[in-house]
Amino acid sequence: MLSAEAQSTGVRVPFARLDFDDPELLEELMGAVRQVAERGAFTLGDQVEELERELAAYCETDFAVGVASGTSALELALRALEVGPGDQVIVPTNSFIATAEAVSAAGATPLLVDVDPDTHLIDAEIVAAALTPRVRCVIPVHLFGATVEMGPIVELAREAGIHVVEDACQAHGARHHGARVGSLGQIGCFSFYPTKNLGAWGDAGAVVTSSPRLAERVRLLRAHGERPRYRHRVVGATARLDALQAAVLRRKLRRLDTWNRRRRELGAALRRRLCDGEAIDLPATGPERIADHVYHLFVVRCAQRDALRAHLAGRGVASAIHYPTPIHLTEAYAHLGLPAGSLPVSEMLAEQICSLPLFPGMTDEELRQVAQAALAFAKAPAPADVDLAG
């Protein structure tokens, strides 16, 4: 049931809005899709090549290679680096499961580690403590649009002789001490899942790198190891980027910085408004970190998370949990034998985190509604008076 306030204002804040809510953008994207359909070239081709050039320039790398999804990007990056059976790859357990799945798909084993309680991300100390002779690679995940402190990890990796593959699937366009994420390790991986900061109209992804050898290797692997047609040099995959997705992404890439600016503006405004609510912990702090953040998600921490979500729902404000189960406690990774209690920070986060609505098309009125609803709870946390279906 909605509260009297939500009923009287009639404002409902969704968790996100997709492209059909912007008629001008929708029209432009429909035109781009029509052009591809009329030419009938649906896999790879000039739209994909153009996107690859534009994305590489945007990420300040020499190459970008379009692939079928973020998960494919990670898997092919690892395979290009010849990480496989018998190898371990360090992965934060506080991530979307795809980061670990890609390691498994490459034939290697994810070595799941905990995260820092303030940033919710991995750092060099955590990586150093996890190193074993079998570790060949680490995957720092720029989760929620916040950037991992990369310098010390890259240095440690160099000393230890292991690779660094960035999972930038939630941080398109973020800068880390001035450099674009994705350009800081050997390979950066992006997902263009529709709700991402740069989202396609279906599944899509890309790797970026400044190594010609790795770019070429991913190009081979994404299309049956084939070059030229029907000469199969390695065992590859069907992991090409569709031309339709590339055509959509090219138009949206031109708007990404504007959208990220709006995300930052909304993130800063929410932080300001929520800072005096004691029951809610705001996302990682520190001036540099805030400046880098592209707010894919605005994730707060609250000991009474379920009551907070019920309170928000009662005021017409959607919310979500990213993610309810750390990777090591999923059924899929039970075989790793990491019991509850083994990675305690991530386990605590899974019980306490709550993502509030934040998307570029959010109006100031919607922002006010989210902030007011969350602050009302933060100042006077109370047992839930409404249920989440309200």
Ligand X SMILES: Cc1ncc(COP(=O)(O)O)c(C=O)c1O
Instruction: Give the footprint of ligand X on this chain (CB under 6 A).
Output: 69-71, 95-96, 98-99, 141, 167, 169-170, 191, 193, 203, 205
Task: Using the minimum distance from each CB to ligand X, give the nearer residue, 3 or 245.
Answer: 245
* Cβ at position 189, least distance to ligand X in Å: 7
∠ CA(201), CA(204), CA(208), 5° rounding?
A: 135
Distances 344 to 113, 149, 280 between C-alpha atoms, Å: 10, 21, 20
Q: What's the rounded Cα separation, in Å, for the pair 363 and 355? A: 18
Q: Give the side-chain half-sphere CA count within 13 A for 366.
A: 18
* Cβ at position 77, least distance to ligand X in Å: 11
* Cβ at position 145, least distance to ligand X in Å: 10
* Cβ at position 166, least distance to ligand X in Å: 10
Task: Using the minimum distance from each CB to ligand X, give the nearer residue, 297 or 307.
Answer: 297
Which 8-state DSSP code applies to residue 333? G
Quote the tokens at residue 227: 């070059």
* Cβ at position 339, least distance to ligand X in Å: 24
Residues 6+ apart with CB under 8 A from 176: 142, 147, 148, 150, 184, 292
* Cβ at position 180, least distance to ligand X in Å: 17
Task: Using the minimum distance from each CB to ligand X, give the nearer residue, 61 or 95.
Answer: 95
Task: Using the minimum distance from each CB to ligand X, give the nearer residue, 48 or 310.
Answer: 48
Task: Using the minimum distance from each CB to ligand X, give the nearer residue, 95 or 186.
Answer: 95
Distances 223 to 83, 94, 188, 200, 242 between C-alpha atoms, Å: 19, 31, 19, 20, 12
Task: Using the minimum distance from each CB to ligand X, give the nearer residue, 97 or 135.
Answer: 97
Scanning 60-113, the segments in alpha helix (DSSP H) are 70-80, 98-105
165 φ, ψ (degrees, to nearest 5): -115, 120
Single out the residue of 88, 163, 185 nearest to residue 133, CA to CA. Answer: 88
Single out the residue of 113, 140, 94 nearest to residue 342, CA to CA. Answer: 113
* Cβ at position 70, least distance to ligand X in Å: 2
Task: Using the minimum distance from each CB to ligand X, give the nearer residue, 63 or 192.
Answer: 192
Single out the residue of 107, 114, 120, 97 nearest to residue 331, CA to CA. Answer: 97
Residue nearest to ligand X according to CB distances in the complex? 70
Residues 6+ apart with CB under 8 A from 280: 274, 300, 301, 302, 308, 374, 377, 378
Task: Using the minimum distance from each CB to ligand X, give the nearer residue, 242 or 366.
Answer: 242
Task: Using the minimum distance from each CB to ligand X, give the nearer residue, 76 or 274.
Answer: 76
Q: What's the rounded Cα separation, in Å, for the pair 139 and 83? A: 12
* Cβ at position 243, least distance to ligand X in Å: 18
* Cβ at position 315, least distance to ligand X in Å: 28
Q: What's the rounded Cα separation, in Å, for the pair 54 and 256? A: 12
